[in-house]
């Protein structure tokens, strides 16, 4: 049978994997999991279905064939959509960013949403929380909001690789190859401008931002090796953008997906398949996308770390210069976006700075 996904009135996702028969009573049993938990449960089928008779519950049937474009209508209520949105994009709840037009800079910018002091200065000590009403306004196109992925304890519930500008499609496809190779579930979103992508990795539990960022950098390194002829200059940054959160700020923000105006104007802010076509049902796609546990992340890092690479060390005789040596003769310059996004503690061995200090190497 095709997997069936149900969302109850509390926003929990139930995956009905099969229907069994009790050997003694001959009654039907529902076999299911809850919220990507590995624990498998069974209970009478009627009892299972009774959970979803409430008005705010919904059933979603998911196609089981690989690479099938999702067509089924989810029929989710607004309340259920917001619950699913919070589950997937589980950023800080006590603060969010709001986009506005900055007259001085003459462009749109994001800033934490706050009240103001009597002198007109923003009250950053008391930011406004991310409420259901705020998310609803974003989904309706009435607001542009940004999410802060770094939690207060330096953990995160998701990782995003940000690719911008000219060759974002080829870079995205290279990264997707690596994700498929290592069974990493990933969701690709076309950025709001329509000229870039965000590759989302969702975690079933909060993991250290440092660990999440290592995963992103190792995936990028493997993608460079897989397609050495592709320029990765369009890589912008990772979100979270730091290993440790400054106690004076909230960390870097990322534009929240599924913004209605961006979807309408640029086909942006939508989740897309490997051919860069938007999924017919965005909510169905979000409901069925897989998540990674902390153990799975650690196991994948172990596989990527122990791969054998051919390291090429570049020479530079200028005093106190530092370069990054990477695979396949790909040079990451000291001030490139890739080097800026990579903390020293989280760099793979191939990306540790090499200081020459006027010495000849080799």
Average pLDDT over residues 272-299: 94
The pLDDT of 259-264, averaged and rounded, is 93
Quote the pLDDT of residue 122.
Answer: 86
Residues in the chain: 362
User: Looking up tokens 């059933």, which residue turns up?
Assistant: 59
Local confidence band at 298 (pLDDT 50, 70, 90 cut-offs): very high
Please give the C-alpha separations between residue 248 and each of 111, 125, 155, in angstroms, as whole numbers: 15, 9, 17
Say if residue 243's pLDDT is above 90: yes
What gap in Å lies between CA 358 and CA 128, rounded to an integer?
53
Q: Does residue 310 carry a pLDDT above 80?
A: no
- CB-count burial class (<10 Å; 0-12, 13-18, 19+) for 206: middle
Q: Which of 198, 311, 307, 297 is nearest to 256 (CA)?
A: 198
Please give the average per-residue pLDDT across 98-119, as a whole number.
90
pTM for the full predicted model? 0.68
User: Could you tell me which residue, 49 or 174, shows the higher pLDDT?
Assistant: 174
pLDDT at 27 over 70: yes
- Report the chain's mean pLDDT, rounded to a whole number: 78
HSE-up (13 A, CA, CB side) for residue 315 = 6
End-to-end CA distance of the chain: 62
Q: Nearest to residue 18, comparing CAs of 30, 34, 35?
A: 30
Band (4; pLDDT cuts 50, 70, 90): confident
Q: Supply angle C-alpha 58, 157, 59, rounded to 5.
A: 10
pLDDT given at position 208: 96
Of 111-120, 213-222, 308-317, which range is least confident?
308-317
Is residue 240 reached through a cis peptide bond, with omega within 30 degrees of 0 on the bond before it? Answer: yes
pLDDT band at 313 (very low <50, low <70, confident <90, very high): very low
Q: Say if residue 330's pLDDT is above 60.
A: no
How large is the average pLDDT for residues 38-47? 85
Per-domain residue ranges of the chain: 4-83, 84-298, 308-355
Least confident piece of the model among 102-111, 154-163, 221-230:
221-230
287 pLDDT tier (thresholds 50, 70, 90)? very high
Give the lowest-confidence range in 113-117, 254-258, 327-331.
Answer: 327-331
164-203 confidence digits (pLDDT tens)? 877 899 999 999 999 999 999 999 999 998 889 999 999 9
Ranking 1-10, 200-209, 216-225 by mean pLDDT, the lowest is: 1-10
Under the banding of pLDDT at 50, 70 and 90, the label for residue 117 is confident
Query: Is residue 156 within 8 Å of 206, Cβ to Cβ?
Result: yes
Helix 168-181 × helix 209-226 angle, to 10°: 110
Q: What sections of 253-333 are H helices per DSSP?
A: 260-266, 282-288, 294-305
Give pLDDT, residue 37: 65
* Confidence at residue 10, expressed as pLDDT on a 0 to 100 scale: 66
Q: How many angstroms separate the CA atoms of 179 and 278, rounded?
A: 19
pLDDT at 249: 86
In this structure, the number of other CB atoms found within 10 A of the CB of residue 247 comes to 6
Superfamily of domain 84-298: HP0184-like (3.90.920.20)
More reliable by pLDDT, 187 or 355: 187
Q: DSSP H helical segments within 182-293, as ranges?
A: 209-226, 260-266, 282-288
pLDDT exceeds 80 at position 216: yes
The answer to whether residues 96 and 146 touch, using CB atoms and an 8 Å cutoff, is yes
As a whole number of angstroms, the distance between CA 351 and CA 339 comes to: 9
Give the residue, 326 or 143, on which the prediction is more confident: 143
Give the whole-angstrom CA distance, residue 40 versus residue 161: 32
Query: pLDDT, tens digit, for every residue of 32-42?
Result: 888 656 688 89
């Amino acid at each position: 049978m095709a997997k069936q996904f149900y969302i109850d009135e509390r926003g929990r996702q139930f995956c009905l994997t099969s229907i069994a028969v009790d050997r003694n009573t001959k009654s039907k049993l529902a076999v299911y999991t809850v919220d990507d938990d590995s624990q498998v449960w069974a209970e009478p089928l009627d009892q299972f279905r009774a959970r979803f008779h409430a008005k705010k519950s919904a059933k979603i049937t998911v196609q089981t064939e690989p690479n099938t474009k999702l067509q089924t209508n989810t029929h989710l209520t607004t309340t259920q959509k917001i619950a699913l949105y919070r589950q997937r994009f589980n950023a800080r709840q006590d603060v969010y960013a709001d986009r506005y037009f900055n007259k001085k800079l003459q462009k749109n910018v994001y800033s934490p949403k706050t009240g103001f002091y009597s002198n007109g200065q923003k009250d950053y000590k008391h930011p406004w929380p991310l409420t259901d009403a705020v998310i609803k306004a974003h989904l309706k196109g009435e607001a542009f909001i940004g999410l802060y992925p770094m939690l207060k304890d330096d953990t995160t519930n998701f990782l995003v690789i940000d690719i911008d500008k000219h060759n974002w499609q080829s870079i995205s496809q290279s990264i997707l190859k690596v994700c498929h190779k290592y069974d990493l579930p990933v969701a690709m979103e076309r950025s709001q401008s329509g000229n870039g992508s965000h590759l989302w990795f969702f975690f079933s539990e909060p993991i250290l931002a440092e660990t999440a960022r290592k995963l992103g950098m190792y995936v990028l390194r493997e993608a460079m090796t897989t397609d050495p002829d592709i320029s990765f200059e369009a890589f912008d940054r990772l979100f979270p953008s730091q290993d440790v959160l400054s106690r004076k700020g909230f960390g870097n923000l990322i534009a929240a997906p599924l913004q209605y105006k961006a979807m309408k104007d640029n086909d942006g802010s939508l989740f897309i398949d490997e051919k860069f076509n938007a999924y017919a049902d965005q909510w169905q796609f979000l409901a069925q996308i897989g998540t990674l546990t902390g153990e799975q992340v650690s196991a994948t890092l172990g596989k990527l770390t122990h791969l054998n690479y051919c390291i090429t060390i570049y020479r530079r005789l200028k005093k106190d210069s530092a370069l990054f040596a990477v695979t396949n003769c790909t040079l990451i310059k000291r001030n490139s976006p890739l080097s800026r996004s990579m903390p020293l503690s989280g760099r793979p061995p191939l990306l540790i700075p090499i200081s020459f200090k006027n010495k000849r190497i080799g």
